[in-house]
């Protein structure tokens, strides 16, 4: 199905961006620690940037995780159920996750708008908080779309098997 392939490409792009973001904060942290321990130079506010980037990276990994069905499935009670029952329960789970992610995307967007309006920033650097929200809202919304598509059409279009 074309829609699932397109959602999968978006999810993969988000995961790649998350990996690049984590690589950058790892390099920044290494430079800061090495500078602090060798020449007494450090990056001021590196922990603020690390926290913000890590939060954005987590959100960026969510679509790929949902697309690949990487979330934990507790199937202790359903392991002996028929495949049709398991598939129905998986789709209900995807529907619930999609609804939760849609709610989270909406509330995060409102939080980002509030951060923009108040010009909220981090303590030391004054790094604008709205940027983190702007990085988080699209992948959370994409996660919701993927989960809702999986709930509607099943899991055959992409992702790992159960």
The answer to the question of residue 160 being in a domain is no
The answer to the question of residue 145 being in a domain is yes
Closest by Cα among 17, 15, 23 to 146: 15
The answer to the question of residue 111 being in a domain is yes
Number of domains in the chain: 1
Closest by Cα among 57, 67, 129, 137 to 102: 137
CA distance 43 to 61: 27
Q: Please write the tens of the pLDDT for every residue from 26-49.
A: 999 999 999 989 998 888 888 899
- pLDDT category of residue 157 using cuts at 50, 70 and 90: low
The answer to the question of residue 12 being in a domain is yes
62, burial (CB in 10 Å: exposed 0-12, middle 13-18, buried 19+): buried
The answer to the question of residue 52 being in a domain is yes
Residue 85 has pLDDT above 70, yes or no: yes
CA distance 132 to 38: 32
The answer to the question of residue 127 being in a domain is yes
The answer to the question of residue 40 being in a domain is yes
The answer to the question of residue 162 being in a domain is no
- pLDDT category of residue 110 using cuts at 50, 70 and 90: very high
Query: In the chain, where does DSSP find H-type helix?
Result: 2-38, 46-67, 83-118, 129-153
Look at 81-85, 95-99, 101-105 and tell me which has the smallest mean pLDDT. Answer: 81-85
Range of the domain at 41: 2-153
């Amino acid at each position: 199905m074309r829609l699932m392939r397109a959602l999968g490409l978006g999810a993969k792009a988000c995961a790649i961006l998350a990996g690049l973001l984590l690589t950058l904060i790892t390099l920044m942290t290494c430079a800061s620690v090495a500078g602090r321990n060798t020449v007494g130079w450090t990056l001021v506010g590196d922990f603020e940037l690390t926290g913000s980037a890590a939060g954005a990276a987590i959100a960026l990994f969510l679509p790929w995780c949902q697309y690949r069905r990487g979330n934990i499935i507790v199937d202790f009670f359903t392991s002996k159920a028929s495949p049709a029952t398991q598939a129905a329960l998986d789709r209900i789970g995807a529907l619930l996750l999609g609804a939760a992610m849609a709610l989270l995307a909406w509330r995060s967007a409102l939080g980002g708008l509030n951060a923009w309006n108040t010009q909220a920033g981090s303590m030391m650097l004054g790094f604008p908080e709205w940027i983190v929200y702007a990085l988080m809202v699209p992948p959370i919304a994409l996660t919701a779309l993927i989960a809702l598509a999986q709930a509607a059409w099943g899991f055959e279009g992409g992702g790992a098997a159960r």
